[in-house]
Every structure is written in structure tokens, then in C-alpha cells.
Amino acid sequence: MVRITWRSDKLGPLKKPFKTLVEAGFRHRRKTLVNSLKLVHPGRDWEKLQEELGLSPQARAQELSPRQWIALAREAVTRGWLS
């Protein structure tokens, strides 16, 4: 179980996409992050995005740092995948 407690509003407009991605990533904890994201948000090239961010294609949700999650959310918003 993961619990996120917002201590500040530093994420601004990224708060909702960040939360959406983290929930999707941890929803299927035994799957790789790419496969978890594909189940919840199909039709996106999550493999390419992870590669561009320097993340392993075999990465699992628990292996990402908070900064990596923020970068993933920022890029997904920039590409129009999440809002």
C-alpha cells in the first residue's frame, strides 16, 4: 500500500497527472511500469518515453524516485497524454 501525503502544492498543475500515473504504476505491482501504464492508458508509447527519461524498460513502480515520477508526469502532460 502506498499513501501519498501532499505537504505542499509545489507540483501545481502536475499534481493530478502525477497522482494518476503513480496510482496506475502501483495498481499492478508485479508488472513492469510500462505494462501497468499500458493497461490504464493504452495507445501511448510508454516504452519510448521511459527510454527518453533514462528509465529501464524493466523498471517497476517502486524503483522510481519521486523526481523520476515527476519527470514522467511532466512529459506525459507535455505530450498531451494526461491533463
4-36 pLDDT tens trace: 676 767 788 888 999 999 999 999 878 999 999
19, part of any domain? no
Q: What is the pLDDT of residues 51-71, one digit of tens each?
A: 999 999 899 999 999 999 999
Residue 34 grid cell:
510500462
65, part of any domain? yes
Total count of domains within the chain: 1
User: What is the CATH number for 68?
Assistant: 1.10.8
52, part of any domain? yes
Helix axes 15-27, 33-40, angle to 10 degrees: 110
63, part of any domain? yes
| Confidence class for position 1, pLDDT limits 50, 70, 90 | low
Is this prediction's pTM over 0.75? yes
Residue 55 grid cell:
528509465
Helix axes 15-27, 66-78, angle to 10 degrees: 110
83, part of any domain? no
Task: Answer whether 17's CB lies under 8 Å from 82's CB.
Answer: yes
43, part of any domain? yes
Domain that holds residue 70: 28-78
Task: Answer whether 10's CB lies under 8 Å from 18's CB.
Answer: no
49, part of any domain? yes
58, part of any domain? yes
State how far the Cα of 8 lies from the Cα of 26, in Å rounded to an integer.
22
